[in-house]
Each structure stands twice: as C-alpha cells, then as structure tokens.
Amino acid sequence: MTRDHSPGDHSPGDHRPGDHSPGALTHFDAAGKAAMVDVTAKPETERTATARARIVMQPATLALIQGGTAAKGDVLGVARLAGIMAAKRTADLIPLCHPLPLTQVTVDLTADQAANTVEIAATVRTAGRTGVEMEALTAASIAALTIYDMCKAVDRSMRIEALRVTHKAGGKSGEFSQE
C-alpha cells in the first residue's frame, strides 16, 4: 500500500525523492535517481569517526597470530596497513562517497583470548565538508577481511561480526556515540 504525502506530512522512516529534511535519505535527486550529495555550501569542519568490527576464530588460529607464526607473516601488521590503505580508497569503492583528504587514519587490532577474537577499531579524521564514517567502516572491514585472507588456510570457520560506527563527531549533525 502506498501513502500520499502532503507537504510536511511524513514519518521518520518515510522518504520522498529530493527531501533533505532530517531523517531523510540524501543520496537521491528530486526524480528519485541516485545522486552524489552536493556539499559545496557546507562549511569545512574537523570531522572524526570510529568504526569497530571483530573477527572470531579458533583458539589455535589466534595463537598463530599472536605468536607471529602464521605462514603469511605478521597478520596484524598487514591488516593494519590494509585498513589504512582502504580508508584512503573508500571513494573508489563506494559509488556516492566523496573523495576526502584524510588527515589521520589509525587501525588498532587487539587480540582477546577469552573470546577468541581480534577486535578492530578504525578511526579516521579530516577537515572537510562531509563525514568520514564510510572511511572508518571501510578500514575496519578491510582489516578484518585481511585477517581472514591471511589465516583461511588454517581456519575457514572464522566469522567477521559487529561492523558498526561507534563514534562520529563534527558537522551539522554533531556528535554520535555508541559502544
């Protein structure tokens, strides 16, 4: 069933093409076609975002990673570099993302023996007109995929879980935080 909207009559989950009110989807033009958001008039502000993910594995796989004895080498070091490189290439991977001049990317990887996981936190910073949430999500996901790639020969049952933005600051929408 469709619903006709009169001006100003929509609930938070509704979307009308070209509607750029709070809560509306912004990557569509007035005709409903996918479009890159025009950020020309937005002021440049300092922006930061952190995304997290985890990869669950067998205890023996985690031991290989921590011991530095994985056949392909330093798993966490390679995953960290892959995440940083991925953040810088986000606009090449996600069609409507703006290419951004990133000022800092950090990817922290922490082994959790009790949970048999590697916890990943990627933080991205810029001074720009649009946020860096997608860059942080891309960094965290590619770091996790790199761990999978480097260890799949010994553990095909690994699972990548809980990819999410946990913090965002800067811009018109202000700060968001959830752990």
Give the Cα separation of 167 and 179 in Å (integer): 8
* Residue-wise pLDDT tens digits, 7-18: 344 334 444 444
Given a contact cutoff of 8 angstroms between Cβ atoms, the answer to whether 128 and 42 are in contact is no
Question: Is 149 labeled as catalytic in the residue annotation?
Answer: yes
DSSP 13-54: T---TT--STTS--SB-TTS-B-----TTSPPEEEEEEEEEE
pLDDT value at 43 more than 60: yes
Q: CB neighbours (10 Å) of residue 175?
A: 10
What pLDDT is stored for residue 24 in this prediction?
A: 67
Phi/psi of residue 160, nearest 5 degrees: -95, 130
Catalytic residue (choose from 14, 29, 108, 149): 149
Q: Which pLDDT value is given to residue 12?
A: 40
Nearest-CA neighbor of 168 among 154, 160, 178, 159? 178
Q: Average pLDDT, stretch 122-148?
A: 96
DSSP H or E segment with residue 164: strand 159-169
Band of pLDDT at residue 28, cut at 50, 70 and 90: confident
pTM of the model: 0.82
Tell me the per-residue pLDDT of 59-103, one tens digit each, with 9 for 90 and over: 999 999 998 877 778 999 999 999 999 999 999 999 989 999 999
